[in-house]
Structure 1
């Protein structure tokens, strides 16, 4: 007995010693890897140090040990801010089965040879790092690997065949990498898979492999936005364990297979933005566990089956399809329904009365259908409704009183129906951001209590029978941006308190019965771009203060009873439309308006006069003694002109005057004509040459300097030149923004065409950054100026993308197309390749029409242009990101210093991935900024001398540039967001 006890104690002692030795060995491995392979700038691994009291790694940060034997089994360093390469050395710990290193700054490639050390692991999670190169190969020894997650890195190449042999794999996640090839069929061999994610990968166009039908244990399948084409295979019905199916944003076509009704466990089915057609299979009605159903933005048609309508889904999206027929009544009985969107279809009949009575609806959008009948009275029965959108139907009757009690409503659009009666008083008081009731048959007045709607920014009630005065209480709505009260029966005067609405951008009050004077206080609305008060009974004089509105470009005061003279102060405005016709104005038209382009603006005012503006009567003046002498001089000049004409006719084309048949269009107020310009289009005045023509610097006698682009050939002679001319005229002729170059006029004749712009003294940004001439106006550019240029150019592009109607995509954003005036303020220029965004649907995505060839400039073209002929705003965002990198580096996009087959984007990306810890000098420079800064020494133009604060700002702009130049368009911010990011004072998160 004693011997047995002694033996047991001895064995325990030996085991303890072995475990202690093993523990000490693991600690040494961890400490060595940290020192040699990883950087820990945030000090989160400071306890990874072997000391007398700290030899057991089980107590170290991120380490998990087996509770029975104390062996290290898992290393989880997620979101610790560590950097460096892949820590192969961790795998020398023989008991390790889990390596999780997600959300760090690890980079470099992962080589298969040293990776073989890790063949015993079960879990490898490296998501949200910066690993690059080909996906790592896994040898047959990785027979126990169950979880492999490599999402959001920079891996490239095809998925290796070795992945098809990882037969124990249960989860594979490769989302957000730049992989090639198509989705491989061999993944169908992984019969233990429960989760497969290959989203945002941009494979080559290819189908869903039918072999995926073998994955019967699959619960989660995500192939979002990965260039999947063809039909959904019938074998999809074999995935009977599937809970989540996401095939959105691809090119899937054909009908949805009937076999999809076998997915009895499905909770979410997402198929939006594809090209699916035909009817919805009746079998979908069998999916009683489904709660989220989205087949929007396809080409599906037919009626909605009652079995599908009866499903108790939470989110139901059928919008942007071709559905017809009436809605089954049972759809409104669903107790789970929260989000209901079926807009942009052709549904008919009435809306079920009980909608909202049995569920807590939050969003209800049935707009752009053919519904008739009255509005469902219970939509807000659950007191949760936030958005009510029913515009463009044939709905009639009154707005239910119950809607006015819906305090959760913040967004209402009811335009273009047949609604009638008075709007419930409480309806005006709701905490809305937008209220749109236009083009109905509503009546009554705006109550004083509208002042309670303090969040309202858009009030659009045009085309109704509203009457009474516009209440002064409307001035309490300080957030109002857009007010459209036009085509009603409002009377009384315009509230003089309008000056309190500092955010007003558009005011439309035309076609009412307003009287009184135009309040001069409107001049305080500094953001106002459009003011339309036409077709009213306004009287008095036009307030000269209107000329102080800095961005007003649309002013229509026609068909009123205004009197007095036209204020010369209005000449300060940069007007795209100006109309004061049909009033009682008198006196001389200000000289700046005495142009043919403005003639219709003054008709119907018998008291107005101007020289040479037939049918406007000429202004009378008293005869002077010198009248006869003047006439004589004029006759002599005319005679001399006739004699000289023959000589002029024989001069070269650039010295001849235009023919009388030339078409001249004026876009801005100018004090010159085409005859002042044409003689100066000489060889000595050429300052540039491009694919479409020559650019001249023209200095007028007045001292004004212009830039004139004379296009190659005449109309019909060179299609690309004609396209440039048309694009510049159509787009720049109507665009008004401080960061977009101004087109002043254009002239087109039988032998020539030219465009006249404001002259930019400092040339292009490309010239300033890259020119080798030493007599540049600013050399080198300091960071403050560069940042100002970046912000101004971003604001110009944001205007094109988000504020112009229609939106415009530039298609050739580059530093040479950003011009700089005498104050170095930027102007986006050269719209020869620009196209309006017609919002055509391509797989549900709005973009311009397909292009016959790639447009843009080498080094600036977005990568997706290589595999699709369609572009949208995100193509401009990529190009702008390249410009930001130019501003930081002062290098051209394809500078030879980057190395072979590298451009500025690849160079910047590699620099971002391999940056080292900041030096003491860098730390000192950034001591006011939180966190650690990148080492940008290899990137920043060495000629810039940066202060501490500027260095942090450069880093932020660099981060924005990386966002803009993301390989995936969906990952890039909008230009509006870019402006916000640039304006933010804090570092980019």
Structure 2
């Protein structure tokens, strides 16, 4: 019995083993095949953010990012925003169970990839937001018959939509918006898609045609977007059968007629957008579509009044009825809606007051009711919930004081109250720096009073407050300010010398006030386009600095007490309007202004005169100096005497120099010295020091020497000399380097830019003589300490100060130099340090002067240093200041991480590494250089690291300006000092207590 049992067991075990080879290896092979297919995709497409983590070492690809597996087999691939460019390869469809494919937001630019016809199990396909072009193939239905979702939105596909688009029996969403389809609507074909729940054909240049009546058959539709596709006629009644609709958008068409009653009574409709058509008639008085969340029927020709039933739409968050012909009052019930966030009723004929409860019961964010006939006071609780961003009520008849709720309305961004009848003291908290969101304040033509703080908030970009009763001194306009108009107020005192801080103000109008004192010279640094100081009590002279305001086109200084001559530098300006009338000016009017175009510009200045008969009428001639015959004789005798003396002295000097030339073939006559500063040394002092023992390194275009030269009476100083030698081999590139440094550095005067003392040139060599920076470059202190054992690590306060100094130099170049300058080679090796570790920018061999501020300068070849170069530097023909912002961002990353800009390859580029670390792991102390990993420094170091990541953004438009970067660094420094002070006080208190 036992033997039989053993035999039976052995037979069963043998049979079981025999089955294993038929199943287990097959599963293993399929798993292995998918693994290899995926690795092939990575090799083909390259290592994007997600694909870079697909690792051949890892045996379980189902754990890789962007993949989903079912029972160990790949069923979904999601790779959006991976910058993929190569066409979709055939190997993708070897993944036999692939049902979900999302390749949206990449850079594909082929025609529609028919290779996907081989993915027989696809249910979900998203190729949106690429650059696919051409026409859709007539056999588009060759895609999987199982397809439920097809998204081709935001591509460049053109032509007609083929009829076969309607041959997908299971299709639930068809998204074809934002392409270039230009044929007829595929009405009959799409109306056959009985299971369709989402349809978008918007923003395509279809041939004009009526609203498709046939779409009424698609009774399962919940989302219908047909905007911007040249629809005409009326909205058909057949669409009322779409009882499941939650969104209906037919904006930017040519529809006419009234809005059907069924729209206002739809039970499930949540989002209704019909703006920018030609719809007419009144809104139904019976509104029962209580599920509406967003309603926009603006920019039509709607008439009548706003129905009181809108107060029943308790889910409503957005109400847009602007630019119609609505009249009557705004129903008070709208002020009771609990979810209302955005109400825009401007450009109608509405009357009465705003709903008294508006703002109290809902998180109101935006109120725009301008261009109506509204009256009364603003609701008391308008900003009750502290969410309000915009108050736009101009051109009405509002009156009274501003509501007290605005006193804590710290999220305000735009405040436009102009052309009303408001009174009382203006809310002081608006000027508070705590209100850091506010950018635009337009309150002109009211009856407000009040005073300003010393400095307006940083974010203010526009402040218009003319024709009110504001008093007190003028504030400083630091920050983003572009326009400041304060005409006809009661402002007094002098114009502050630091009027603009570091603002970007372009229009400044302080006319009609009580301002006295003189115009500060500092006004010349502004980039003003229009300046009006008329009708004040300003005295003194007109500063010559006006001649530097190259963008100034409007200048009005009339009706003041200005005296002295009109500066000749004003000749440099290209003024469209000039008024200096009613002052006490004297002397000759500048010659460029002596023409009839300016005949009204100098009235009632009795001391002014002209020098030409054909210039401004009714002005006296300037008194000419009499020239008698005796004067002429004496001058001729003196002239002959001087000429004779010069000839004699010149002959003697020439003879002496000729002898010297014979004695020394490298004498001073072969060298030309151009000074940019007062110097005590000669070219011979420099030339004698060009020897090997004074050589300290090599720059991009020549050797650099440290030379001791004479400095004053018996003193000496060190200078750095860059030599560009050997004229026979001096190519155009080095010649341009030399000219760029001489042109730029010779004219710059800034504490944080290395000083070019002079240049010395001959037919055989070119020399640039700089001030010597004792502590060499930042690169040496960050990256070469191991080779130079005597260097100690830089502490965090020193690093932050170096960053600020460098930012100040670049900020000057970009924003305060005219024309603006792009350095084009910002790097740690070009940031030099003085004995106190204050930083200066150096090496302008690649710099380009912008022909106009803000305009990019053409470059003929790629320059800069790998690891610091912005991405666009290599493939764009034009660059602007944002290439320097990118490079400076890399320097910030060097200062915080201690890493070099690159280790010799793209994979090790510091900017790329920092971005990946920031995206994947956030801010960790491991990011920081170990020499600054003190807990007291980490907060500031993280902030500067993050700023570096922002500066190295791939798109130039998203990078901040150097002015913004400097402001941020100064803010970090302020916080750091404040913490240090608090820490010191805390320690002192602890010591006293002990």
For the 8 Å contact 1:37–1:85, the answer to whether it is kept is: no
In structure 1, stretches of 5+ residues that fail to align are 630-776, 786-793, 800-821, 830-883, 890-922, 933-955, 961-975
Residues 250 and 29 of structure 1: CA distance in aligned 2, closer, same or farther (over 3 Å) = same
Shift of 1:315: 1.4
Alpha carbons of 1:303 and 1:886: their partners in 2 closer, same or farther (altered >3 Å)? Answer: same
Q: Give CA deviations for 1:458-507 in whole Å, capped at 9, x if unaligned.
A: 221101233x4325xx1274443322110223344333442635433221
Given the alignment, which residue of 465, 468, 480 partners 1:461? 465
The structure-2 alpha-carbon separation of the partners of 1:97 and 1:979, relative to structure 1 and needing over 3 Å to count, comes to: closer
* Match of residue 223 from structure 1: 226
Give secondary structure in 2 for the equivalent of 1:322. coil
Pairing 1:334–2:332 present: no
TM-score by length of 1: 0.60
1:569 aligns to what SS in structure 2?
helix
Instruction: Tell me what 1:40 maps to.
Output: 45
**Cα-to-partner distance string for 1:229-270 (whole Å, 9 max, x where unaligned):** 443332222221112223333333332222223432122222
Match in the other structure for 1:399 = 402
Counterpart in the other structure of 1:412: 415
Equivalent residue runs for 1:440-459 within 5 Å:
440-442=446-448, 444-447=449-452, 449=453, 451=455, 453-459=457-463
Match of 1:168 in 2: 170
For residue 269 of structure 2, give the secondary structure of its aligned residue in structure 1: coil
Matches within 5 A, 1:709-748: none
For the 8 Å contact 1:203–1:226, the answer to whether it is kept is yes
Aligned residue in 1 for 2:145: 143
Give the Å deviation of 1:438. 0.2
What residue number does 2:684 align with?
Answer: none
Equivalent residue, structure 1, for 2:274:
271
Gap change, CA 1:381 and 1:50, over 3 Å in 2: closer
The question of 1:578 aligning with 2:582 is answered no
SS at match of 1:131: coil
Q: CA deviation at 1:14?
A: 4.9
1:153, distance to aligned residue in structure 2 (A): 3.3
Q: Does 1:99 align with 2:101?
A: yes
Per the TM alignment, residue 358 of structure 1 is displaced from its structure 2 partner at its CA by: 1.1
**1:59 shift after superposition:** 5.8
CA-to-partner distance for each residue in 1:119-143, whole Å, 9 max, x for gaps? 4432223333443332243447843
Among 433, 438, 441, which residue is 2:444 paired with? 438
The one of 200, 207, 211 aligned to 1:208 = 211
Distance 1:824 1:379 in 2: 48
In the alignment, the residues of structure 1 paired with residue 9 and residue 197 of structure 2 have an alpha-carbon distance, to the nearest angstrom, of: 50
Taking a change above 3 Å as real, the CA distance of residues 174 and 549 of structure 1, as seen in their structure-2 partners, is same
Give the one of 352, 362, 365 matched to 1:362.
365
Q: Could you report, residue by residue, the CA deviation over 1:513-548 in whole angstroms, capped at 9, with x for unpaired residues? A: 333333334234x22222111122333332333333
Residue 301 of structure 2 is aligned with which of 299, 302, 307? Answer: 299
SS in 2 for 1:364: strand
- Which position in structure 1 is the counterpart of 2:118? 117
Preserved CA contact (<8 Å) 1:237 1:261: no
| Alignment match, 1:194 | 197
Paired residues, what number?
A: 671
Mark the CA change 1:823 to 1:6 in structure 2 (over 3 Å): closer, same or farther.
same
1:459 is paired with a residue of what secondary structure? strand
Match of 1:609 in 2: 609
Query: Does structure 2 conserve the Cα–Cα contact (< 8 Å) formed by 1:488 and 1:512?
Result: yes
* Alpha-carbon separation, structure 2, partners of 1:202 and 1:931: 40
TM-fit CA distance, 1:622: 5.8
Contact preservation (8 Å) 2:571, 2:591: no
Say yes or no: does 1:559 pair with 2:564. Answer: no
Q: Distance in 1 between matches of 2:853 and 2:185?
A: 45
| Correspondence for 1:589 | 589
What are the residue-to-residue correspondences of 1:690-769 with 2, within 5 Å?
none
Deviation (angstroms), 1:336:
0.8
Q: 1:327 to 1:982 in 2, by over 3 A?
A: same
Contact 1:581 1:603 in 2 (8 A): yes
Alpha carbons 2:133, 2:157 under 8 Å: kept: yes
* TM-superposition CA deviations, 1:940-980 (whole Å, max 9, x none): xxxxxxxxxxxxxxxx99x98xxxxxxxxxxxxxxx95998
- RMSD, aligned CA: 4.6
Q: Is the alpha carbon distance of 1:72 and 1:345 closer, same or farther for their aligned partners in structure 2, counting shifts above 3 Å?
A: same
Map 1:590-669 → 2, pairs under 5 A: 590-610=590-610, 611-612=612-613, 613-621=616-624
CA contact (8 A) 1:38 1:85 kept: no
1:74 Cα deviation from its structure 2 partner: 3.4
- The whole-number CA distance in structure 1 between the counterparts of 2:11 and 2:221 is 54
Runs (5+) with no aligned partner, structure 2: 633-731, 741-813, 820-847, 856-873, 880-903, 914-950, 966-994
Q: Which residue of 2 aligns with 1:254?
A: 257
Please tell me whether the aligned partners of residues 305 and 329 of structure 2 are also in contact (alpha carbons under 8 angstroms).
Answer: yes
CA separation of 1:423/1:592 partners in 2, compared to 1, >3 Å: closer, same or farther? Answer: same
Q: Quote the Cα distance in structure 1 between the aligned partners of 2:222 and 2:579.
A: 65
CA shift in 2, pair 1:371/1:49, >3 Å: closer
Distance 1:226 1:433 in 2: 37
Query: What SS class does the counterpart of residue 276 from structure 2 fall into?
Result: coil
Distance of aligned partners of 1:158 and 1:570 in 2 relative to their CA distance in 1, 3 Å threshold: same
What is the alpha-carbon distance in structure 1 between the residues aligned to residue 180 and residue 734 of structure 2? Answer: 39
Highest RCO, 1 vs 2 (Cα 8 Å, sep ≥ 6)? 1
Which residue of the partner structure matches residue 937 of structure 1?
A: none
Following superposition, the deviation at residue 394 of structure 1 comes to: 1.0
Deviations 1:367-419 (A, max 9, x none): 11111111211101112212211111111112223322323323211111111
Query: Is the contact made by 1:478 and 1:501 (CA closer than 8 Å) also made in structure 2?
Result: yes
State the Cα distance separating 1:80 from its structure 2 match: 5.0
TM-score, scaled relative to structure 2: 0.60
Label 1:576 to 1:38 Cα distance change in 2 as closer, same or farther (>3 A).
same
Residue pair 1:140, 1:165 contacting (<8 A) in 2 also: no
Which protein has the larger Cα radius of gyration, Structure 1 or Structure 2? 2
Change (3 A) 1:16 1:159: farther
Deviation at 1:579, TM superposition (A): 0.7
**Alignment check: 8 A CA contact 1:460 1:484 kept:** yes
The residue that corresponds to 1:385 in the other structure is 388
Q: 1:390 to 1:499 in 2, by over 3 A?
A: closer
1:184–1:209 contact (8 Å) kept in structure 2: no
- Residues 1:19 and 1:552: Cα distance change in structure 2 (over 3 Å): same
Superposed displacement of residue 48, structure 1 = 7.8
| Residue-by-residue CA offset, 1:321-349 (whole Å, 9 max, x unaligned) | 22222111111111111111112222111
Deviations 1:801-837 (A, max 9, x none): xxxxxxxxxxxxxxxxxxxxx99948999xxxxxxxx
Distance 2:35 2:130 in 1: 20
